[in-house]
Amino acid sequence: MHHFNYEQGRLHCEGVDLNEVADQVGTPVYVYSTATLRRHARVIAAAFEGMDCLIAYSVKANGNLAVLKTLASEGCGADVVSGGELKRALAAGIPAERIVFSGVGKTRDEMALGLDHGIHQFNVESGAELVALSEVAAGLGKTAPVALRVNPDVAAGGHPNISTGKAGDKFGVPWTDAPRLYEQLKALPGVKAVGVDVHIGSQIGELEPLRAAFEKTIGLVKTLREGGHDLTRIDLGGGLGIPYQASDNPALPSDYAAMIHDVTKDLGLQVVLEPGRVIAGNAGVMVTEVLYHKPAPDRTFMIVDAGMNDLMRPALYQAHHDIVPVNQPAGDSHQVEYDIVGPICESTDKFAAKREMPAVEPGERIAFMSSGAYGAVLSSQYNARPLVAEVLVDGDQFAVVRRRPSFEQMIELEQMPDWLT
**pTM (2 d.p.):** 0.95
Model confidence pLDDT, tens digit, residues 325-337:
999 998 888 899 9
> Phi then psi for 397, rounded to 5 degrees?
-125, 155
- Whether 420 is covered by a domain: the verdict is no
Residue of 56, 51, 124, 111 whose CA lies nearest to 270: 51
Question: Does residue 110 sit in the same domain as residue 246?
Answer: yes
pLDDT band at 153 (very low <50, low <70, confident <90, very high): confident
Question: Does residue 298 sit in the same domain as residue 376?
Answer: yes
Instruction: State the CATH number of the domain containing residue 336.
Output: 2.40.37.10
- Whether 415 is covered by a domain: the verdict is no
Model confidence pLDDT, tens digit, residues 252-292:
999 999 999 999 999 999 999 999 999 999 999 999 999 99
- Whether 21 is covered by a domain: the verdict is yes
Model confidence pLDDT, tens digit, residues 2-11:
999 999 999 9
Question: Does residue 113 sit in the same domain as residue 153?
Answer: yes
Q: What is the mean pLDDT of residues 84-96?
A: 98
161 pLDDT exceeds 70? no
Q: What is the mean pLDDT of residues 28-41?
A: 98
Instruction: State the CATH number of the domain containing residue 66.
Output: 3.20.20.10
Model confidence pLDDT, tens digit, residues 396-409:
999 999 999 999 99
Of 210, 245, 278, the one marking the end of a domain is: 278
Quote the number of domains for the chain.
2
Q: What is the mean pLDDT of residues 411-418?
A: 97
Residue of 385, 218, 200 whose CA lies nearest to 305: 385
- Whether 356 is covered by a domain: the verdict is yes
168 pLDDT exceeds 80? no
Q: What is the mean pLDDT of residues 17-44?
A: 98
Model confidence pLDDT, tens digit, residues 207-245:
999 999 999 999 999 999 999 999 999 999 998 999 999
Please state, in angstroms and as integers, the Cα–Cα distance from residue 313 to each residue in 141, 288, 354, following that order. Answer: 43, 16, 18
Determine which helix (DSSP H) or strand (DSSP E) holds 83, and give its type and residue range. Answer: helix 83-91
Question: Does residue 12 sit in the same domain as residue 45?
Answer: no
171-176 CB contacts, 8 Å cutoff, 24+ apart:
171/104, 171/125, 171/199, 172/125, 172/197, 172/198, 172/199, 173/125, 173/126, 173/127, 173/148, 173/149, 175/150, 175/151, 175/216, 175/220
Question: Does residue 263 sit in the same domain as residue 328?
Answer: no
Please state, in angstroms and as integers, the Cα–Cα distance from residue 65 to each residue in 47, 179, 343, following that order. Answer: 26, 39, 29
Confidence (pLDDT) at 154: 79
Model confidence pLDDT, tens digit, residues 195-208:
999 998 889 888 99
Confidence (pLDDT) at 342: 98
Cβ-contact 11, 364 below 8 angstroms: no
Confidence (pLDDT) at 163: 59
Q: What DSSP assignment string belongs to 20-67?
A: HHHHHH-SSEEEEEHHHHHHHHHHHHHHTTTS-EEEEEEGGG---HHH
Question: Does residue 100 sit in the same domain as residue 154?
Answer: yes
Confidence (pLDDT) at 182: 97
301 pLDDT exceeds 80? yes
DSSP state of 328: P
Question: Does residue 136 sit in the same domain as residue 216?
Answer: yes
Domain coverage including residue 392? 4-31+281-410
Question: Does residue 249 sit in the same domain as residue 392?
Answer: no
Question: Does residue 270 sit in the same domain as residue 360?
Answer: no
Of 245, 278, 311, the one marking the end of a domain is: 278
Question: Does residue 45 sit in the same domain as residue 193?
Answer: yes
- Whether 224 is covered by a domain: the verdict is yes
Question: Does residue 95 sit in the same domain as residue 207?
Answer: yes
Query: To the nearest 5 percent, what fractions of the chain are helix, strand and coil?
Result: 35, 30, 40
167 pLDDT exceeds 80? no
Helices (H), 170-318: 178-187, 207-226, 253-264, 277-280, 313-317
Confidence (pLDDT) at 214: 94
Confidence (pLDDT) at 158: 67
Q: What is the mean pLDDT of residues 373-390?
A: 98
DSSP 3-state assignment of 276? coil
The count of other CB atoms within 10 Å of the CB of residue 375 is: 26
Residue of 274, 205, 267, 216 whose CA lies nearest to 242: 205
Model confidence pLDDT, tens digit, residues 365-380:
999 999 999 999 999 9
**Cis before 28? omega within 30:** yes
Determine which helix (DSSP H) or strand (DSSP E) holds 245, and give its type and residue range. Answer: none
Cβ-contact 287, 365 below 8 angstroms: yes
Q: Where are the beta strands (DSSP E) in 307-388?
A: 323-325, 335-341, 350-358, 365-368
- Residues in a beta bridge with 167: 169
pLDDT band at 157 (very low <50, low <70, confident <90, very high): low
132 pLDDT exceeds 90? yes
Question: Does residue 167 sit in the same domain as residue 237?
Answer: yes
User: Rounded to an integer, what distance in angstroms lies between the CA atom of residue 274 and that of residue 381?
Assistant: 29
- Whether 199 is covered by a domain: the verdict is yes
Of 218, 246, 278, the one marking the end of a domain is: 278
Determine which helix (DSSP H) or strand (DSSP E) holds 283, and give its type and residue range. Answer: none
- Whether 419 is covered by a domain: the verdict is no
Q: Is the dihedral of CA 11, 16, 20, 21 positive or negative?
A: negative
Q: What is the mean pLDDT of residues 301-307?
A: 98
Average pLDDT over the chain reads: 95
User: Rounded to an integer, what distance in angstroms lies between the CA atom of residue 134 and that of residue 139?
Assistant: 8
Residues catalogued as catalytic: 345
Q: Report the percentage of the chain scoring pLDDT > 90.
A: 91
- Whether 61 is covered by a domain: the verdict is yes
Model confidence pLDDT, tens digit, residues 346-368:
999 999 999 999 999 999 999 99
